[in-house]
Amino acid sequence: MLETIRIGGLELRFLQTKDETAGSLDAFEMTVQPNARMPIAHYHDNWDETVYALSHTTTWRVDGQDVVLKPGQSIFIKRGIAHSFRNDTQEAASCLCILTPGVLGPGYFREVAALVAGGAPDPQKMKDIMCATDLCRSHNRRLYIPPR
């Protein structure tokens, strides 16, 4: 049985991990509950992300443009491109997310889930978790938040 990691209105189920694929990829199914979102646009310096919509509709903000992703459609998010996502509908939506190469694994998401489980997370602790990967610039440990 696959582990489900819950982070607010998001549920992740890893199908393949960086450890199982010798770093080739991370693959997980993500369910985005109605009105849930990834509130902070971010980018990855060291991996690309491909998202394939499985059910219902999500909206991805990629490089300043909204992209509506419906079942059977996919989007490729090249490393270095700022992105976020949301579910503006009243139905839970699911998608397959593939990160190449695999660098996060479920451990990162478990840490984030534990931090937000008690309510609003401590910003410094969230930054520390994100900076342990390349979700912030490693040379000065500053979290990148693109302009609106």
Instruction: Answer whether residue 148 shows pLDDT above 50.
Output: no
| Residue 139 belongs to some domain of the structure | no
Instruction: Answer whether residue 141 shows pLDDT above 50.
Output: no
| Residue 68 belongs to some domain of the structure | yes
pLDDT tens-digit readout, 114-127: 988 877 777 778 77
| Residue 132 belongs to some domain of the structure | no
For residue 40, the domain's CATH number is 2.60.120.10
10 Å Cβ neighbour count for 99?
Answer: 20
Q: What global pTM score does this model have? A: 0.85
| Residue 129 belongs to some domain of the structure | no
State the Cα–Cα distance between residues 93 and 53, nearest whole angstrom. Answer: 8
Q: What is the CA radius of gyration of the chain?
A: 15
| Residue 114 belongs to some domain of the structure | no
Instruction: Answer whether residue 92 shows pLDDT above 90.
Output: yes
Quote the number of domains for the chain: 1
What range does the domain containing 89 cover?
4-104
pLDDT tens-digit readout, 18-50: 999 999 999 999 999 999 998 678 888 889 999
